[in-house]
Structure 1
Amino acid sequence: MKLLAFAATNNSKSINKQLATYAASLVEGADVEILDINDYEMPLFSQDREEELGHPALAQQFFAKLGEADGIIISFAEHNGSYTAAYKNLFDWTSRIDQKVFQGKPLVLLATSPGPGGANTVLTAATGSAPYFAADVKASLSVPSFFDNFDMEAGAMRNEELKQALTEAVNKLAD
């Protein structure tokens, strides 16, 4: 299985990138590629820019990466209750290539934050909207209080219940 994982944020020290990377490592036998959306930074989307630029090569490359994967794990950071501007911009450009951004791929959607909410607001939005963009959402999971539940030194979940829930979620990608 070719598995693509990334954090929906441009924060270089993202706890969501740590969560996505860890989650991908739980899928036995998977060939894992971890993307950094900083590699796909483009001008702020607008119809005027689209008329000027067409479909930027970076958006096309991102769309191709999604299409090449057998499964996708995305972990969402939450900015003011919504998507990060970096992810939303990348998604907007990519959706103009083809509204079926996720191309029928199985997805596991995650989110975490330092607080007890676990970025659940953005995760709920992502889980609700992803099927409209041709995602086969297999599972979603919010991890609250990241630093209490994740061992940063070991790079692993210390909360056994969350580890079990995460393992069950990502293993649904193989179904």
Structure 2
Amino acid sequence: MKILAFAASSSKQSINKALANYAASLVDGAEVELIDINDYEMAIYSSDRENESGIPLAAQQFYQKISEADAIVISFAEHNGSYTAAYKNLFDWTSRINMKVYQNKPMVLLATSPGPGGAQSVLNAAITSAPFFAADVKGSLSLPSFYEHFDVETQQIRSPEWLDKLATTMASLTY
């Protein structure tokens, strides 16, 4: 199984990128490709830009990465209760190629934050909208208080309770 994993965050020190990478590594025998959405940065979407210049190559390349994957793991950062601007823009451009952005791929949606909310608002938004974009969400998990439960040095969850919850969520990709 080839898993495409990424954080819906443009932060170079993204805790969501660490979580996505670690979560994907829990799937036995999977080949994990961790991408950085900063590599797909482009001008803010507008219909005027699309009419003038077409769909940027970066959006096409992102769509192709999804096509090549057997499964997808996304961990969402939350900005003011919603998606980050970087992710939303990438998603908006990619949806102009095909509204079925996620191409019926099995997915696990995650979110984390330093605080006790665990970016639950944006995760709920992602789960709710996923079916409209051909996402086959197999599982989801919000990890609250990231630094309390995740060891940044070893890049893994230190809390047995949360490790069990994450492993169970990730196992949903193989059912």
* Runs of at least 5 residues in structure 2 that lack an aligned partner in the other structure: none
Shift of 1:174: 1.5
In the TM superposition, residue 104 of structure 1 has moved relative to its aligned partner by 0.3
* 1:80 aligned partner, one-letter code: N
Aligned-residue offset at 1:159? 1.2
| Distance in 2, Cα, partners of 1:8 & 1:71 | 16
The offset of 1:99, in angstroms, is 0.1
> Is 2:41 the partner of 1:41?
yes
The 4+ residue runs of structure 1 with deviation greater than 2 A are none
Q: Which residue of 2 aligns with 1:2?
A: 2
1:26: Cα distance to partner? 0.4
- The separation in 1 between residues aligned to 2:67 and 2:60, in whole angstroms, is 10
- Unaligned runs of 5+ residues in structure 1 are none
Distance apart, 1:154 and its partner CA = 1.3
Distance 1:43 1:74 in 2: 22
Which one-letter code corresponds to 2:138 in the other structure?
K
Q: Percent identity?
A: 65
1:10 Cα offset (Å)? 0.6
Q: In structure 1, what is the Cα distance between the partners aligned to 2:114 and 2:165?
A: 19
The secondary structure found in structure 2 opposite 1:97 is coil
* Alignment match, 2:67: 67
What residue is the counterpart of 1:157 in the other structure? 157
RMSD: 0.6
Residue equivalent to 1:137: 137
Q: Deviations over 1:136-164 (max 9, x none)?
A: 00001000000001111111101111111
State the 1:122 CA deviation.
0.1
* 1:76 Cα deviation from its structure 2 partner: 0.1
> TM-score, length-normalised on structure 2?
0.99
The amino acid that maps onto 2:83 is: Y
- 1:66-85 equivalences in 2 (<5 Å): 66-85=66-85
**Alpha-carbon distance in 2 for matches of 1:48, 1:77:** 29
Q: TM-score, structure 1 length as denominator?
A: 0.99
Displacement of 1:55 = 1.2
- Once the two structures are superposed, residues 41-92 of structure 1 have per-residue CA deviations (whole angstroms, 9 ceiling, x without a partner) of 0000011111112111110110010011000000000000000000000000
Paired residue for 1:50?
50
**Matched residue, 2:118:** 118
State the distance in 2 between where 1:128 and 1:16 align.
Answer: 20
